[in-house]
Amino acid sequence: MQKSLHLDPAKCTGCLQCEMACSYEKLGEFNPSRSLIKVFSFHFEGRFAPYTCTQCDEAWCQRACPVDAITLDMSTGAKIVIEDKCVGCKVCTISCPFGTVNYVQQTGKVAKCDLCGGDPQCAKACPTDAITFIDANATGYDRMKAYAEKSLPSAEASA
Amino acid sequence: MSIFNAIKRLFGMSDTPQNQTQKIVDTDIPEPKQASKSKLATETSIEKTEKEISTKINDDNKQSTETTEDSEYIDENIDSSTNTTIKSQKDKLEDSSLTTKDTKHYTTHHAIIGAGPCGVVAAETLRKENPTAEITLIGNENEPPYSRMAIPYLLINKIGEEGTHLRQSDHYQKQNINYLQQTVASVDANKNELVMADGSTLVYKKLLIAAGSHPIAPPIEGIDLPNVHSCWTLKDARQIASIAKEGSNVVLMGAGFIGCIILEALVKRGVKLSIIEMGSRMVPRMMDEKAGGLLEKWCIEKGVNVLTSTKITAIKESDGNMRVELDNGDKLVADLVISATGVKPNTAFLENSGIEVNDGITVNNKLQTNIENIYAAGDVAQGKDFSTGKYEVQAIQPTAVDHGRIAALNMSGKHVEHSGSLNMNVLDTLGLISHSFGLWMGVEGGDSVEIYNPDAYKYLNLRFGTDENADVLVGASTLGMTQHIGVLRGLIESKIHLKEWKEHLLVDPTRIMEAYLASTQELDNAV
């Protein structure tokens, strides 16, 4: 069973524990600025939205990479950056229309969520279940798709 | 899974089964279940396509297509070494008028001219869609398929040459894609035949021209001197690496996109660099005066001699020393001159082929040329621009890859329309990162907002559309930003109406990610 991250903004309190957990897992330090999951704030409404790579099938990042540095982890379905191959050209960062592949100046390479090899620490750290790691078929795909279509009026016409 | 499928549909790139607009109309390709190397199956499929092609295109074709039926097919065993070769089961075609003793004659189902990222992605897509079809990828350099985008990183030894190669060396063998190192001299569209520089021929059913582009050599005295190079191929890179040593004097002609990419590598090699740009600013086709000005200031501070609004009038050599003469009267000593004044589509070999060429090869929204079984993609094609709807040569990597994939899907009998590629660029100039997307220069009557902080080398400009698209992002450019940049593409290409978020962005344009999330996701209701 393939699992995927389910992000539920309505449950997010903006505590940023996911960012702490992510940076600790990846860098061995608490450095939310380099977390691969980010919590965005909506001060007008007092709301928060955690967001990271959804490991999309389309994988624009993977296709755009000129040196094959982004590959599919068959066990988790994650698209992962092979650090040794990445040259830091950043083409993937402009290709991903979700803005979830970022260039890291400290390393000269790009970084994206790799689902922690199948045990995502952000989901473990989230105290309110705003981030859960569940059966990919149950992540509310239909609901999100319906909402996306509603919010993108031109979707019908172009389909 | 998420809203990206909806966005994907907007991009017109969807090939998933969910998409109802798509039908497989070509039934000539056997289903994967029968995916064997059975020659019989392949022949049957080829025959069918043949009939289709000959009826659709040219009744006079009969003779040449019959030739194909009689001919032998390419041996599917290819050498896995870098110098991949194709062994023909039988070198001679019975009916070929071009048969000579030493040349080889092949046939293939799908031929792809060009082994850059576009051709490689096309070949892989074709293989995915057509498990048994014969696919031949033709590259005209004496290298395995590689990516030019990686050359600057080769020049600073961040990677070796193998790091520029597209895929592992056994990839093409595993994918059963024939890789042929040949220069295509001409295309005979009536006979569905490619004639190679060495006289050998390749008969195809469907052809993709992904021949790329070549650097322009400006008409300047001395442009053909031995130490004047372009920086385009691996061969160029080797030559540049052998001359551009620590302390060498290097003159870079052109501060466009390619010039600026090489610039960084040259500085890191420790050369004394001068960069000469005719335009009034650096990367004039990607940045406005403010961003281009900041970039110039940045480079000068890093020790690069940047001369904008300046032309090279001649390059002269005497006693083994090169001198670059400028229109302001100055002369620069140079061990190496690198010409990076732009690229042009490789269309010369198509002369008299009947394939329509304007700036690049003319294509429709399926990347099909005026000849039904011939497609064109990548730098060589004049494809649709997402923002303007006009057909123009973009010559950028993401577009090349999109083109390759969409052309291959259409060649496989799917109906996938190319809704236009977004012109976009990313550049890292000595650590200062810049981006441009779509109509970054703005549209008349459209709102825009910018952040301009010259001391911090930061710049961000968002451009909105007009009328009913007044709340739609149509272009953007940035300097000194690296986070969540891709969402600018998402916002532009999905044509999201930002509604009240436009006002928020006009106040704080850095909140692009919030604008995107608020416009696409349900933030308030619990599941």
| Three-state secondary structure readout of B453-486 | EHHHCEEEEEEECCHHHCCCEEEEEEECCCCCCH
Question: How many residues in total does chain B contain?
Answer: 527
* Among the listed residues B461, B477, B217, the one whose alpha carbon sits nearest the alpha carbon of residue B338: B217
Are residues B52 and B164 located together in one domain of the fold?
A: yes
What pairs with residue A51 in β-bridges?
A38
Q: Which of A9, A38, A85 sits opposite B521 (nearest CB)?
A: A9
Contact B426 A148 (CB under 8 A): no
Report residue B129 as tokens.
Answer: 């869609």
pLDDT at A28: 95
- What does the DSSP 8-state code read for residue A135? E
Interface list for A 4-33 with B (CB within 8 A): 4, 8-11
**CB-based contacts of B409, cutoff 8 Å, min separation 6:** B15, B125, B129, B416
Are residues B309 and B457 located together in one domain of the fold?
A: no
Residue B59 in domain: yes
- What does the DSSP 8-state code read for residue B331? E
Q: Does domain A1-52+119-143 have CATH number 3.30.930.10?
A: no
Residue B525 in domain: no
A129 touches chain B (CB under 8 A): no
Q: Which of A4, A64, A89 sits opposite B401 (nearest CB)?
A: A64
Q: Are strands B424-429 and B391-392 parallel, antiparallel or unpaired?
A: unpaired
Contact A99 B419 (CB under 8 A): no
Contact B165, B153 (CB under 8 A): no
What class does CATH assign to A55-112? alpha beta
What is the C-alpha to C-alpha distance for residues B522 and B527, in angstroms, rounded to an integer? 10
Domain span holding position B258: 228-341
Residue B21 in domain: no
Residue B33 in domain: no
pLDDT digits (tens, 9 = 90+) for A117-127: 999 999 999 99
pLDDT at B526: 37
What is the C-alpha to C-alpha distance for residues B82 and B387, in angstroms, rounded to an integer? 40
A82 touches chain B (CB under 8 A): no
pLDDT at B523: 59
Q: What CATH number does residue B69 fall under?
A: 3.50.50.60
Q: Encode B193-215: b = buried (16+ Cβ within 10 Å), e = exposed.
A: bbbbeeebbbbbbbbbbbbbbbb
Q: How far is CA A54 from the centre of its chain?
A: 5
Are residues B200 and B245 located together in one domain of the fold?
A: no
- Chain A interface disruption, residue of B1, B147, B153, B397, most A CBs within 10 A: B1
Contacts of A8 in chain B (CB under 8 A): 526-527
Q: Are strands B391-392 and B249-253 parallel, antiparallel or unpaired?
A: unpaired
Tokens 């916002």 correspond to B491
A68 touches chain B (CB under 8 A): yes
Q: Which of B321, B341, B361 is the last residue of a domain?
A: B341
Chain B residue with the nearest C-alpha to that of A108: B431
Phi then psi for residue B214, to 5 deg, are -135, 155
Contact A154 B13 (CB under 8 A): no
Are residues B512 and B443 located together in one domain of the fold?
A: yes
Residue B171 in domain: yes
Are residues B337 and B357 located together in one domain of the fold?
A: no
Number of DSSP helices (H) and strands (E) in chain B, helices first = 13, 27
pLDDT at B520: 86
Are residues B337 and B351 located together in one domain of the fold?
A: no
What is the C-alpha to C-alpha distance for residues B310 and B306, in angstroms, rounded to an integer? 10
Report residue A6 as tokens.
Answer: 């389910």
Our CA angle for B374, B363, B176, nearest 5°, is: 40
* d(CA B483, nearest CA chain A) in Å: 6
Are residues B183 and B128 located together in one domain of the fold?
A: yes
Burial class (CB in 10 A: 0-12, 13-18, 19+), B455: exposed
pLDDT at A44: 76
Are residues B166 and B256 located together in one domain of the fold?
A: no
Q: How far is CA B52 from the centre of its chain?
A: 30
Residue B254 in domain: yes
For chain B, what is the domain count? 3
Are residues B472 and B364 located together in one domain of the fold?
A: no
* d(CA B274, nearest CA chain A) in Å: 23
Report residue A13 as tokens.
Answer: 């309190």
Residue B203 in domain: yes
Run means of pLDDT, 10 residues per run, chain B, 527 residues: 45 40 37 40 42 39 37 38 37 38 77 96 96 95 93 92 89 94 96 95 97 95 95 95 95 93 92 95 91 95 95 93 95 96 96 96 97 97 95 92 95 94 94 95 96 96 97 97 95 94 96 93 53
Are residues B59 and B133 located together in one domain of the fold?
A: yes
Contact B497 A54 (CB under 8 A): no
A87 touches chain B (CB under 8 A): yes
Are residues B334 and B402 located together in one domain of the fold?
A: no
Contacts of B2 in chain A (CB under 8 A): 54, 56, 139, 141, 144, 148
What is the C-alpha to C-alpha distance for residues B178 and B289, in angstroms, rounded to an integer? 48
Largest alpha-carbon pair distance within chain A? 48
* d(CA A42, nearest CA chain B) in Å: 7
Contact B221, B316 (CB under 8 A): yes
| Cα–Cα separations (whole angstroms), residue B11 to B48, B375, B414, B422 | 32, 20, 16, 10
Contact A100 B484 (CB under 8 A): yes
pLDDT at B84: 36
Q: Which of B2, B12, B149 sits opposite A158 (nearest CB)?
A: B12
Tokens 């042009």 correspond to B344
Phi then psi for residue B52, to 5 deg, are -60, -50
Contact B345, B393 (CB under 8 A): yes
- List alpha helices for B244-280, DSSP H: 257-268
Contacts of B527 in chain A (CB under 8 A): 8, 10, 140, 143
Contacts of A132 in chain B (CB under 8 A): none
Extract the residue ranges of chain A whose pLDDT is less than 50.
Answer: 150-159
Contact A51, A41 (CB under 8 A): no
Chain A residue with the nearest C-alpha to that of B122: A63
What is the C-alpha to C-alpha distance for residues B75 and B190, in angstroms, rounded to an integer? 25
Q: Which of B9, B496, B517 sits opposite A49 (nearest CB)?
A: B517
Contacts of B3 in chain A (CB under 8 A): 144-145, 147-148, 151
* Among the listed residues B355, B433, B424, the one whose alpha carbon sits nearest the alpha carbon of residue B386: B424
Q: Are strands B249-253 and B336-339 parallel, antiparallel or unpaired?
A: parallel
Report residue B130 as tokens.
Answer: 């057509």
pLDDT digits (tens, 9 = 90+) for A7-20: 999 999 999 999 99
Contacts of B524 in chain A (CB under 8 A): 9-10, 45, 47
Contacts of A51 in chain B (CB under 8 A): 513, 517
Residue B16 in domain: no
- What does the DSSP 8-state code read for residue A27? H
Contact A151 B121 (CB under 8 A): no
Q: What CATH number does residue B445 fall under?
A: 3.30.390.30
Question: How many residues in total does chain A contain?
Answer: 159
Q: Where in chain A is the domain with CATH 3.30.70.20?
A: 1-52+119-143, 55-112
Contacts of B164 in chain A (CB under 8 A): 67
Report residue B413 as tokens.
Answer: 């009998």
Chain B residue with the nearest C-alpha to that of A88: B153
Are residues B245 and B113 located together in one domain of the fold?
A: no
Centre a 10 Å sphere on the Cβ of residue A157 and count the other Cβ atoms it contains: 7
